[in-house]
């Protein structure tokens, strides 16, 4: 059902807000199932206009002193904080995050703006006198030109803020293509940057699906592409864009393992596992989606873990009063996919220790809800063990010792994050040195990095050479 108050979803090209009259894709309020906007599905024509606007703005922006670019971003940071509640409400409405989760995601985005504010210090080159007789050498970091960001549905503000603040701070111009499922929050971010005084054409926004993405990947004036999303799409982005001569950083999906040793602190492990698995309704690439219980650890933690899952209150997130612990999934179709994976595990011999499939929210019967779910006795060959679930589902696998647990984690095609819960220093050290994941946590459920460090996924979780965030991102954008 369409909302009585549909939210406009324009393009932003060359400093102008444009309503193009294109066919639209529905944007839902996942809490109610109502359509709240129509996202225009642009193609090559809209992409060309945005890229040309960015290319035209590049020479003047490149020559703007780095300190002036940084001052603009300081103003931008202030405006984002000023409009903090508005951004939180937008995320919760179009995505379904709780307000607590929305606030956390914006704080992480602000950290990336703050890092970009320090870009004058990040752009230092190197010099060496007399590298040969009467010859000096210096290196200079220069912007690339037009850069593109293609962002996912699960973090409508944070992931765009991983990309465009640092890219423009380095002197590039930018074209943002947000997910067609959650385009509205990104438009607020762009509006605030316009208010901060960003010149026309430095940042542009196009909307669309695959046709729009492929036009961006093929455009001859695009120099670099940043992407976050699923691994199959990340591989397509990487293969296509690099074939067209572009620099690419493409973050894919994940299957993050959390190893629980017999000596682990049970309350701490249970709290961290529940947050890692069910936070953001499991819709994040750093979700702790698989627990490997070593030895007697399963018998120690599973009863309390099931109690924690059953206590997770599910409900509407689009009203500030009476916020739940967990909100809905992004669409009805995605909910059915997650349920299908749970059912596949059941058919292949796993046990449903906590079943969230029957959850109901009486005040919002058409919302896309799924309760916290625990699937026990999962084995490696099962579909639910191999595929990224991207929902509030925790798999529990059982292994005899730490070596088996590490080997099982390392057999995964993904390599984003991995954690261990233990009171043993030697076990923690062995895990840290042997596990094949880009981000490793010791008694930490979600080992995600902060803005000054690169987001270092491996294997099928990342395609490229230079990661998003931190010093590697500066190198990527110069």
| Residue 117: active-site member | no
Structure tokens at 440: 């490793």
Question: For residues 26 and 200, what is the distance between their CA atoms, to the nearest angstrom?
Answer: 29
Strands 290-294 and 439-442: unpaired
Nearest to 297 by CA among 174, 400, 186, 416: 400
User: What pairs with residue 12 in β-bridges?
Assistant: 17, 205
DSSP 280-329: GGG-STT---EEEEETTHHHHHHHHHHHHHHT--B---SSSSS--SB---
Write down the catalytic residue from 9, 117, 170, 285.
285
3-class state of residue 348 by DSSP:
coil
Give the torsion through C-alpha atoms of 1, 338, 390, 86, to 10 deg: 20
Structure tokens at 43: 């193609």
What per-residue string of b and e applies to 29-65 under the rule 16 or more CB within 10 Å gives b?
bbbbbbbbbbbbbbbeebbebbbbbbbebbeebbeee
Structure tokens at 180: 């067609």
Q: How many CB atoms lie within 10 A of CB 118?
A: 15
Structure tokens at 141: 């970091």
Structure tokens at 366: 């058409």
Backbone φ, ψ for residue 230 (5° rounding)? -75, 160
Question: For residues 205 and 193, what is the distance between their CA atoms, to the nearest angstrom?
Answer: 12
CA geometry: angle 313, 286, 84, nearest 5 deg: 65
Q: Are 457 and 415 in contact (CB under 8 A)?
A: yes
DSSP 150-178: E--SS-TTHHHHHHHHHHHHTT-EEEEE-
Place of tokens 């290196």: 139
Residues classed as catalytic = 285
């Amino acid at each position: 059902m369409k909302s009585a108050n549909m939210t406009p979803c324009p393009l932003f090209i060359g400093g102008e807000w444009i309503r193009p009259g294109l066919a639209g894709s529905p944007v839902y309020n996942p809490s109610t199932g109502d359509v709240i906007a129509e996202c225009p599905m642009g193609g090559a024509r809209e992409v060309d206009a945005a890229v040309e606007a960015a290319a035209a703005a590049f020479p003047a922006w490149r020559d703007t002193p780095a300190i002036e670019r940084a001052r603009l971003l300081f103003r931008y940071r202030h405006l984002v904080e000023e409009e903090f509640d508005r951004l939180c409400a937008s995320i919760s409405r179009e995505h379904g995050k709780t307000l607590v989760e929305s606030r956390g995601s914006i704080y992480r985005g602000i950290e990336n703006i703050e890092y970009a504010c320090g870009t004058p210090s990040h752009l230092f080159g190197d010099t060496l006198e007399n590298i040969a007789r009467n010859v000096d050498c210096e290196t200079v970091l220069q912007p690339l030109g037009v850069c593109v960001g293609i962002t996912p549905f699960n973090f409508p503000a944070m992931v765009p803020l991983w990309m465009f603040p640092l890219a423009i701070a380095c002197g590039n111009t930018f074209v943002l293509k947000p997910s067609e499922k959650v385009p509205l929050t990104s438009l607020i971010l762009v509006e605030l940057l316009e208010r901060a005084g960003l010149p026309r054409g430095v940042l542009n926004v196009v909307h669309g699906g695959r046709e729009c993405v492929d036009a961006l990947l093929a455009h001859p004036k695009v120099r670099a592409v940043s992407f976050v999303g699923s691994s199959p799409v990340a591989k397509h982005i990487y293969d296509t864009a690099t074939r067209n001569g572009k620099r690419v950083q493409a973050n894919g999906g994940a299957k993050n393992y959390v190893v629980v040793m017999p000596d682990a602190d049970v309350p701490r492990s249970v709290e961290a596992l529940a947050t890692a698995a069910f936070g953001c309704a499991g819709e994040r690439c750093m979700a702790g989606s698989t627990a490997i219980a070593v030895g007697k650890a399963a018998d120690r933690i599973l009863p309390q873990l099931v109690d924690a899952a059953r206590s997770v209150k599910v409900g509407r997130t689009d009203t500030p009063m009476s916020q739940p612990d967990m909100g809905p999934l992004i669409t009805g179709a995605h909910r059915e996919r997650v349920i299908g994976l749970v059912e596949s595990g059941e058919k292949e011999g796993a046990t449903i220790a906590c079943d969230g499939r029957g959850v109901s929210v009486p005040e919002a019967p058409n919302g896309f809800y799924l309760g916290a779910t625990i699937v026990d006795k999962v084995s490696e060959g099962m579909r639910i063990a191999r595929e990224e679930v991207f929902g509030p589902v925790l798999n529990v696998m059982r292994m005899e010792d730490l070596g088996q647990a590490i080997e099982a984690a390392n057999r995964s095609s993904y390599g984003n994050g991995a954690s261990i819960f233990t009171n043993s220093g030697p076990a923690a050290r062995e895990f840290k040195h042997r596990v094949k994941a880009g981000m490793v946590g010791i008694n930490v459920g979600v080992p995600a990095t902060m803005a000054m460090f690169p987001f270092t996924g491996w294997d099928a979780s990342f395609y490229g050479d230079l990661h998003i965030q931190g010093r590697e991102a500066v190198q990527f954008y110069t």
